[in-house]
Structure 1
């Protein structure tokens, strides 16, 4: 009897030991209980939280939104007092008008110089004709004077007329050169005037941009966080006034590196949301992180010193949420989720084409 009890106790202990080992293997998903479903609770809903701030300083003149309000792209959120910037725009436009007037005056001077050149050339032609006539008269009188037919007074008058015509031709040539130099000077100054006009146009554009920047609008559709802007508040460039959460959201799941071998882009994913009483939603793997999460840490670990204990690293996996699900509009960035991926399921043909 005692022998039977001892054998029964031994068998019971053995069974308990085997049950314990089986339980450990099952709990750790070790063979033969290895599952194709990879799960992690290190996963969260993500979105692009945009902080909106002014690019210039001024007093808040208008706040058209409230906390957590849904807004459309281009909708006015906050307006800064624009009186100073409106006057700066008018001042810049006045400066531009002055520069354009100076440029127009330069164009008028160019036309005047061109007309002066034409007039001087006409004077050259007239002086050339007068010189030709005076030279002909002198050539007729000079031989007559040598033969005593013409008087010395007539010869002196003809010579004087010839010399005067020569001087007039030189004067006309000089006038043409003066007109040409005036035209060249006008054309040279034109470049600086055109540059001044371009600078004034840029100043007007900058003033217009500053005036537009007094209106802070929603860059895209989304929902606001807490609105920090207050009516009459003085704000500087870069002051955080409010935040916008766009409608685009996704899930980032941090899997252990040992869970990744059979994961592929496009594989279907299911995840449960803690904030929705464990409601299950669907998605699919969109892409994998190019590095482990530890590589993006501000203070990176150095495993080359001290004792080393190998720790499985986490690789972020981005999961796109499938559309047309009832509860997706209740998801918000930061919510905790539990993600499961069945690595035996192959991605669809469309996802495979997109991957290639």
Structure 2
């Protein structure tokens, strides 16, 4: 049996792939099984650093914007990790593609037109959203009310159909080790005996489990830091559109249409037009047993401020009142790097403890600066083949 800790993009993909191969799999998930539309109830944010996370079956994939961008493919190849064919397979299965024009709202169209008039190259964001099911409502980050967006919970359901077991509301506590190899896992439901354990609990919890097992993890935290810049444009109705439905890629920065309730808490949300500015931040943070530490470097601040200035110019050209422009504080979208390949895991994502693997964003060697879901899934597919070959 293989024990998988976590049911997000990495854990769910791994569990499904192994279960399809006829391998016994048990998934340990800290959160509950909820409907897509209730995923927002499972948001959890640490007090010390503003990093968005969701604890439920399927993890944060239930509250993403459905963005499907290939990231770090060449970087990982330098570490001996080739995920090209796995990315191809995932894109085909999830039917990744651009949404039709019918799903582009007025606010997004105005942002695109304004950006292009400033000489910026804009492309539509590739999505894993079924356009036939999607009725633009702006609720992607709360959980899709029509289940039009792929989430890792679908893979968990398929894994269960093939014989896997999912134990929800169960906390993974400590790795059981004998003679330098994995022997099992201690959980809030008791001990499980097994010689293969895969941690996919996310870049905050995975390194904590590793540290309790004596592995030097938790360093090098990145989080794809972002801010949302916006202002007032009466009656634009942008809050009800498909979010992040366009993409502007600059050096170390991406810009995308994005609504945030944090910008104008007392204003009618239908009057707000805004954009996300996201950077590939430096690995300047760390995860400790009881706290998370993240510093923004001079480079990070420069990228954020430069991106925010460009976003402000776009929004002004789109009709937003220049005197109304404001920005949120920096937040984290995609924490990772805390059990990096080449540092904590090898090219097969195995730690120094035999039989203990990692399959989440912890293993990414640098910040992608864009959603890493496809890359995490590809790494999990590759790991599933490796585990199947050694069992």
Q: Where on the TM-score scale, by shorter chain, does this alignment land: which range?
A: under 0.3
TM-score, length basis structure 1: 0.16
Structure with the larger helix share? 1
TM-score, length basis structure 2: 0.15
Q: Which has the higher contact order (CA 8 A, sep 6+)?
A: 1
Look at both structures and tell me which one has the larger radius of gyration over its CA atoms.
1
